[in-house]
Amino acid sequence: MSKDNKILEEFTKSDYKYGFESNIESDSAPKGLNEDIIRFISSKKEEPAWLLEWRLKAYHHWLTMVEPRWPNVKFPAINYQDIIYYAAPKQKAKPKSLDEVDPELLDTFKKLGISLEEQKRLTGVAVDAVLDSVSVATTFKEKLADLGIIFCSFSEAVHKHPELVKKYMGSVVPISDNYFAALNSAVFSDGSFCYIPKGVRCPMELSTYFRINAANTGQFERTLIIAEEGSYVSYLEGCTAPMRDENQLHAAVVELYAAKDAEIKYSTVQNWYPGDREGRGGIYNFVTKRGICAGERSKISWTQVETGSAITWKYPSCILKGDHSVGEFYSVAVTNNRQQADTGTKMIHLGKNTRSRIVSKGVSAGRSQNSYRGLVRVAKRADNARNFSQCDSLLMGDQCGAHTFPYIESDNKTAQIEHEATTSKIGEDQIFYCNQRGIADEDAIALIVNGYCKEVLNQLPMEFAVEAQKLLALTLEGSVG
Amino acid sequence: MLTIKNLKARVEDKEILKGINLEVRAGEIHAIMGPNGSGKSTLASVLAGREDFEVTEGSVEFLGNDLLDMAPEDRAREGVFLAFQYPVEIPGVSTTNFLKTALNQIRQHRGQDPLDAVSFLKLMKEKMKLVEIDQSLINRSLNEGFSGGEKKRNEIFQLAMLEPKLAILDETDSGLDIDALRIVANGVNKLKTKDNATIVVTHYQRLLEYIIPDYVHVLYNGRIVKSGTKELALELEEKGYDWIKDTTATTV
């Protein structure tokens, strides 16, 4: 057996470190999906009639649709009637400060190394913590409010800023967009809402930690970020989930809206339970993320580090509508064991002189399948559109797969589109070289993988980059005995 | 420091080392010369612990420990350093970052605390000066896009940083022009102390004009067939390896 294979064999023995389940009582809906369930969710959340109508419309549209079968992933049919569509941690009243938050909940965060106090004190990050669909603690709100920034749970926004929600919700990802977006629109539980007023530069990274908790609960987050003219915001999303036997469906929708001269930076570190070595359990992560650069010179930048989930189906995209607008996508996707990832982006060039940049780094190990799927489309009036794409694949061992599906559609002769792709393996030579300098196998692999992903990791905000590097190292920890 | 006894090693079915005996003491520089295919690089690789080679017989003792029993990283941590003939590229990892990881793992092995950023930078500045290497080179990804000479200088820089007890230079002179050769040799000479030892593996006598060996060994067909002082290298240069081939042929 070659050294590579030995290392990989050990690699597959490392267990998911975030596997625990916290005992917080859930207030759940019965299993299944029908109009009554949607009414139940809507009434639980004390929603206005227009929103219930919107949900029902999405539900009826969803009924006419079929699951997408084009992604390069395989999984048994999902029984949508066997899923609980709503679960909320029971709490007597909305907490005003961390002192009022369920101590067990706070403990859960501590186990993950995400102490809210620490976050507040050390990093200046305002955290909107989402545990099983209901926002539990929102911090720094007052400081942000002084600048006119709204950062709250989606439900709160529905009540306090209905005009904004009504105007933008579904404007980037319409209810009919795709199967999972329609499902989300019908049953979404909660999520984050963020509004940056004209000319305001958000002084801190806005951060949400998602966590799937109650058994058999689908998680249907919905996030909406609106950046008004000349504003700037950097938003962080980080995820871990407890160990679980049955597959869990996660179908989130994220919508970004950037007005003239606005910039949104959206960073994700995703580490949901990937299933065991044989692929049992694990999260199905079917997410629709899209941003629109509506105004001139606006910019949207997606950065993602995806290490978790049994199946990932995710294409954070940019619609470059405003002239001179810029879209970016930086991605690291790591798959191991039986994980399957079909991820990439879409860059839709509509405006003149629009630019986009795609940097995708896939790492496959074990028996996993890792696909990059990307679309670059240049519309007729998008004169002088530019795109640069780089898609690299790193293979570990000989039982995994790496695939690249680049789609290019150009209707304008002035477009310049570049695509570069490489496939490489971690070489025994590289590992031996590290060994010879005193670096053990697992640290060597972490070093090499981090180096390979550097261009993407560099895009993350400082604290997040450190976390992501640790995560890559952690994923690889225990890989060698 | 290093005692090699009757070392035999093979790759697949081919025996390459056929019984090497060598004794290296602290403070000494040994040169191992020989024609292509004689087993010079194999010997260096076996000492460093490369798994491509299977040791079939013999023993190697390093500072009182069984070297062959140690994992490659432990050999390195105990003080064995191999300057590679063909250093590999590691994209995205700077020499600085690489060395920091290496140095701290070695320190941890010795029960020392990791070096903080300030001390590390200070150490780096000092060693950079010693081996005449430029800051821009060590900020770049390790060996990526480096010229042959730059790679070899980077190896010597790493040697300076890690301060091993035994340095093995595998064909470090190959691909170097005369100026680079001088710089590399100067670095090695400056790093020499009475407590460390160096094994210089080379095909040509040229490097030995700059790094003066205490002993010269000629490796041919998997065995050390002749040992002597630096004069032996000159004799080899003059008479060529055929002379050795002929003499061994007659003695066998």
Which residue of B54, B73, B101, B170 is the best one to mutate when testing the A interface, meaning the one whose CB has the most A CBs within 10 A?
A: B73
> What confidence tens digit (pLDDT) does each residue in A415-441 have?
999 999 988 888 889 999 999 999 998
The average pLDDT across A144-157 equals 88
Residue B156: pLDDT over 80 = yes
Q: Does A177 touch chain B (CB under 8 A)?
A: no
pLDDT of residue A140: 64
Band of residue A136 on the pLDDT scale cut at 50, 70, 90: very low
Band of residue B236 on the pLDDT scale cut at 50, 70, 90: confident
The average pLDDT across B204-213 equals 89
pLDDT of residue A113: 55
Do A436 and B76 lie within an 8 Å CB cutoff? yes
The residues near B80 (Cβ < 8 Å, ≥ 6 apart) are: B47, B48, B62, B67, B164, B165, B166, B168
pLDDT of residue A93: 46
Rounded percentage of chain A residues whose pLDDT exceeds 90: 44
> What confidence tens digit (pLDDT) does each residue in A164-199 have?
999 999 999 999 999 999 999 999 988 889 999 999
Of B51, B73, B141, the CB nearest to A3: B51
Min distance B252 CA to chain A CA atoms (Å): 37
For A57-95, what is the HEC assignment? HHHHHHHCCCCCCCCCCCCCCCCHHHCECCEEECCCCCC
pLDDT of residue B29: 95
Look over chain A and give the mean of its residue pLDDT values, rounded to a whole number: 81
A440: amino acid identity, one letter: A
> What confidence tens digit (pLDDT) does each residue in B4-18 have?
999 999 998 899 999
> What confidence tens digit (pLDDT) does each residue in A321-377 have?
999 999 999 999 988 888 899 999 999 999 999 999 999 999 988 888 999 999 999
Burial (CB count within 10 angstroms: exposed 0-12, middle 13-18, buried 19+), residue B230: middle
**Phi/psi at A412 (nearest 5 deg)?**
-135, 125
Q: Identify all chain A residues contacting B103, using CB atoms and an 8 Å cutoff.
A: 438
Asked if residue B221 lies in contact with residue B18, where contact means CB atoms within 8 angstroms, the answer is yes
Do B162 and A438 lie within an 8 Å CB cutoff? yes
Q: Does A6 touch chain B (CB under 8 A)?
A: no
Residue A477: pLDDT over 80 = no
Look over chain B and give the mean of its residue pLDDT values, rounded to a whole number: 91
The average pLDDT across A56-61 equals 94
Rounded percentage of chain A residues whose pLDDT exceeds 70: 77
> Of the given ranges (A212-216, A363-367, A413-417, B177-181), which has the lowest mean pLDDT?
A212-216
Q: Identify all chain A residues contacting B99, using CB atoms and an 8 Å cutoff.
A: 437
Cα–Cα distance measured from residue B18 to residue B21, given in angstroms and rounded to the nearest whole number: 10
Cα–Cα distance measured from residue B54 to residue B52, given in angstroms and rounded to the nearest whole number: 7
Cα–Cα distance measured from residue A98 to residue A93, given in angstroms and rounded to the nearest whole number: 13
Asked if residue B34 lies in contact with residue B219, where contact means CB atoms within 8 angstroms, the answer is yes
Which residue of B93, B106, B158, B170 is the best one to mutate when testing the A interface, meaning the one whose CB has the most A CBs within 10 A?
A: B93
Q: Identify all chain B residues contacting A454, using CB atoms and an 8 Å cutoff.
A: 92-93
Q: Does B105 touch chain A (CB under 8 A)?
A: yes
Q: Identify all chain A residues contacting B97, using CB atoms and an 8 Å cutoff.
A: 447
> Of the given ranges (A104-108, A246-250, B237-241), which has the lowest mean pLDDT?
A104-108
pLDDT of residue A145: 84
pLDDT of residue B81: 97
Min distance B91 CA to chain A CA atoms (Å): 6
The average pLDDT across A250-262 equals 95
Residue A200: pLDDT over 90 = yes
Smallest CA–CA distance from B71 into chain A, residue:
A435
Better pLDDT: B231 or A88:
B231
A50: amino acid identity, one letter: W
Residue A120: pLDDT over 70 = no
Band of residue A7 on the pLDDT scale cut at 50, 70, 90: very low
Min distance A161 CA to chain B CA atoms (Å): 46
| Strands, sheet with A416-425, edge to edge from the N-terminal-most edge strand | A134-138, A126-131, A206-211, A232-240, A263-271, A299-306, A326-335, A355-364, A386-395, A416-425
pLDDT of residue B223: 92
The average pLDDT across B61-75 equals 96
Q: Identify all chain A residues contacting B76, using CB atoms and an 8 Å cutoff.
A: 435-438
Q: pTM to 2 decimals? A: 0.80
Min distance A447 CA to chain B CA atoms (Å): 7
Band of residue A299 on the pLDDT scale cut at 50, 70, 90: very high
Q: Does B71 touch chain A (CB under 8 A)?
A: yes
pLDDT of residue A5: 52
The average pLDDT across A235-245 equals 62
Q: Does A443 touch chain B (CB under 8 A)?
A: yes
Residue B145: pLDDT over 80 = yes
Do B88 and A427 lie within an 8 Å CB cutoff? yes
The average pLDDT across B42-67 equals 95
Cα–Cα distance measured from residue A138 to residue A122, given in angstroms and rounded to the nearest whole number: 17
Min distance A448 CA to chain B CA atoms (Å): 7
**Other Cβ atoms within 10 Å of A331 Cβ, number:** 28
Band of residue B73 on the pLDDT scale cut at 50, 70, 90: very high
Do B88 and A438 lie within an 8 Å CB cutoff? no
> What confidence tens digit (pLDDT) does each residue in A397-414 have?
788 889 999 999 999 999
Residue A284: pLDDT over 90 = no
Determine which helix (DSSP H) or strand (DSSP E) holds A135, and give its type and residue range.
strand A134-138
Do B92 and A437 lie within an 8 Å CB cutoff? no
Do B101 and A443 lie within an 8 Å CB cutoff? yes
Do A450 and B92 lie within an 8 Å CB cutoff? yes
Partner B, chain A 405-424, Cβ-Cβ below 8 Å: none
Do A435 and B92 lie within an 8 Å CB cutoff? no
